[in-house]
Amino acid sequence: MEELEHKYEVIIDMTEEKQKLPDDVKAELKESGMMDDKGKLKLKGVSPKMLKKMKQEFVKCPVLKEDIQFIQCFVCPNFQSRVMGKVLCKGDSLK
């Protein structure tokens, strides 16, 4: 199997505190059909149990230079894959 082309391997961390998605990310999720009007996430192929776990995860984004919720990372165009507690990131500029 060929390895995905990526610039960064970002470690996924856990937090117990509730994380809030920024409004611009929520709008993007609603636009793409991954969130309903009530704000409930609907990611294809992701079980409710896994989704609950993903809501408590965050990554230190090398592109935005800040901690972001894993769900925001998961829907980012730079997201390549999640492998054994790490995210493979393309590292391209987002603007």
Is pLDDT above 60 for 1? no
CA distances from 86 to 26, 46, 56, 80 (A): 24, 17, 15, 11
What pLDDT does residue 39 have?
A: 82
pTM: predicted TM-score of the whole model, two decimal places: 0.81
pLDDT tens by residue, 10-62: 999 998 887 788 888 888 888 888 888 888 888 888 888 988 888 899 999 99
Q: Kindly state whether residue 3 falls inside one of the protein's structural domains.
A: no
Place of tokens 């393309």: 90
Tally of domains in the chain:
1
d(CA 6, CA 27): 27
**Residue 67 and residue 19 in contact, taking contact as beta carbons nearer than 8 Å:** no
Reported as a pLDDT band with limits 50, 70 and 90, residue 2 is low
What is the extent of the structural domain holding 84? 8-89
pLDDT tens by residue, 63-85: 999 999 998 998 889 999 999 89
Token pair listed for 50:
């896994």
Q: Kindly state whether residue 95 falls inside one of the protein's structural domains.
A: no
Three-state secondary structure call for residue 88:
strand
Token pair listed for 12:
């996924």
